Amino acid sequence: MIKSIFSFCIVFTLIILQSCYVSKTLERDVKVSLSESIAMSISNNGNSTFSSNYSEEEYKKAFIEGMKAEFASGHIILVDNSPEFTVSISEFSMIESTKTETVSDSDSEDNGKVFELSSLSLNAKGQVVKVDGTDSRDWWADKSKDEKVTNSRSGGQIITGDNKDNNTYREKEFSDNEALDLARKCGRRSGARIINDIVKAIK
């Protein structure tokens, strides 16, 4: 019973957190001026090098593309002159790290095998201001992903008929484009948070 309650609480919390990144519906088009000037920082505290696959400029471009894609689906009209709101991005960061995970499965030949796993964590924040001075809000968004260890069968193992007993462990690795994809997704999440702030500001 306690385990069931604990599991429910985890699921409920995840749903609440995820809902923060679902943009609410604006009832009309809103003109917004977006400052695309971003101060970005990239740090690597581990042994992997996924974050170095692209430049800061490419990550910033992907972030802005994601944000604009979210705006386009949410009645936000980007303009240079006479906006109702201004949006700024004060920070965009990416942190790469690694950790080890040891297989603990006495039925597997991989018992005791150590995997080194990579993590990518992206954060962004800024401000949305109503031009008439009646409202100002700070926004933030993040997007993270970790490599995983799994004993589920891969597509190749299914084709060859291997690992039917799920006793072989493998690493679910990042793709070479993982960091760039996360930058774009972080941009979309940021866009959703900004839209939600604008909805609140014009009520």
Give the total number of structural domains in the chain.
1
pLDDT tens figures, 129-167: 999 999 999 999 999 999 999 999 888 998 999 989 999
Greater confidence (52 vs 8) lies with: 52
Query: Which residues form the domain of 184?
Result: 2-201
- The secondary structure of residue 74, as a DSSP letter, is T
Tell me the whole-structure pTM to 2 decimals: 0.86
pLDDT tens figures, 74-112: 999 999 999 999 999 999 999 999 999 999 999 999 999
Q: Rounded to an integer, what distance in angstroms lies between the CA atom of residue 64 and that of residue 145?
A: 20
Residue 13: pLDDT over 80? no
Q: Rounded to an integer, what distance in angstroms lies between the CA atom of residue 174 and that of residue 142?
A: 18
